[in-house]
Chains A and B, each alone.
Chain A
Amino acid sequence: MSLPKLNSSSSAPADVGAGQAFSSPAKARTPSIEDMRAIAKRLRRHIITMISQAGSGHPGGSLSAVEIVTALFFKVLRHRLADPCWPERDRFILSKGHAAPLLYAVLAECGYLPVEELATLRQMDSRLQGHTDRACTPGVEMSAGALGQGLSFAIGTALTARLNSQDYRVYALLGDGECDEGQVWEAAMAAAHFKIDNLVAIVDNNGIQLDGWNRDIMNLEPFNKKWEAFGWYVIEVDGHDLSQLLDAFERARSVKGKPTVIIAHTVKGKGVSFMENNPDFHGKVPTPAEVKTALEELA
């Protein structure tokens, strides 16, 4: 398959400064907040480019969680580029599987996938399926797409660490609209009941689901109180503020005997003016003119 060239400045992870050292962040030159902002911007460019080339996909909820995955993959997670299945790795579970382009973009920036491969999103025989498929893509932990299931999967993964006396941690990224699903609350109850403290849920709280604003479609408030009532340690942050996110992940490490949820207040479509807070761009592909504008804004 010939790979269309991505309209992107990035060619290899080495560009971001930490280079191959990303494979073991603990020993790497720690990327600065500035480095991570640059990475975040590149992820946004990848997302726009990939989805426009694919001709379908979900830009809004990919763009809203860019800082969350940047913080995780470039600072928080323990992982090894050379060994995506390393048993001691921290797990990142993408429950909102429609944000697949975001996960592929960050995996490419880390070096798990060639950046050029991003252009194959959703194409026949691509490893980059429309929604994540763990059987297809290195670094993808869970097959997702039907919402509400990732937290349960994350609990199972976290329990294995307990059973094996391993110290890896599990991070599950959920959408806020996804929390309409009853299974999320079954899982929330179970994680607290089993006292799983190596589990962090992050809710990309962008306020919008496919049909419109959450508050109009299915009100989730009082959202933080719900999680508290289910027995979770709750942290609320600006989900686009890398420092706040990193602090929250650090705080979560010290929480014992209960799971932690980070409610990350975000803007759907963040970074592209006409996509921000616009429910239309949940699953809509930008026109070529819109792509041009978006990439200029993200230059």
Chain B
Amino acid sequence: MEAFFTIANTDLLVAMVRLSTPITLAAIGAVICERSGIVNIAMEGIMIVGAFFAAVGALYTGNPWIGLLMGIVAGGIFSLIHAVATVSFHLNHVVSGAVLNILAMGVTRYFMVLFFGHPGTTDPIPNNLGQLRWAIPGLSKIPVIGRMFFDQTPIVYFSFILVIFFAWFMKKTKVGLHIRAAGEHPLALETIGVSVKKMRYLGVFISGLTSGMGGAYLAIENSASFTEGMTNGRGFIALAANISGGWNPIGAFIASLFFGFADALQVRFQVGKVFDIPEEIFIIFPYVATIIAVAGLVRRSRPPKEVGVDFMIEQEGD
């Protein structure tokens, strides 16, 4: 039991925030996307594409900021395939998402070999964002909280800003209201003259941008290289965070912190050999946490009514 207290310290909480960041970013995207009415299980794939292109950008230009931008843009562009398939061609959202996840794995492996001559892992990225630790003067001195939230790397801060921005955006702006309406009752929106199609494209695109950023975080900030499959299901966990968080950016952030905590704990149990059982057992931690969270919380929150439902205007008859 003594060993347990060696890991339950501020470092664990700092790691929680760090590990939750990619989930938070994708989860905000999931909130916007599902609120607009589109289920996006392709976020896992979008993240991996974002991670890959961020690594490519950072390696080729030597500038991690260009890498970040490339990761975000690549995620956005890749997500548009999902938008075209589901909104314009009325394809089932889950089918399209599943296909894109497989496509993402194939595409990154193909480009991996094309750009680097081998599959697997890229060379280390010499200039990465993990090297930039931005301590906020004053605030970072607060015990525990200071190190958790005010002594972090750039994208971690961006994720905080985005959570607050999108919480405001959804509640207080016209476009935010329209996106919420598109997922709740699309025909109501269309009949007062706002295009549901545009709102849904926008919802998917935003989720592409934030997931791309989440992927970039993994490759150029949390670690300093790209490895195939390095997202490890975080895109799916983000969906669960969106659901547990009640389709709301702040809730999704809190749920992401929870999943980040499970992840941090897992790493420490594995490394610290706290209990005398095979460490591989702990790898399932975040996933078990996901199942429990979704099963326990899902019934209390209500999804947008028409999420996952196709919208088509001109129907036959009366």
A and B held together in a complex: no
Binding site for B on A (CB under 8 A): none
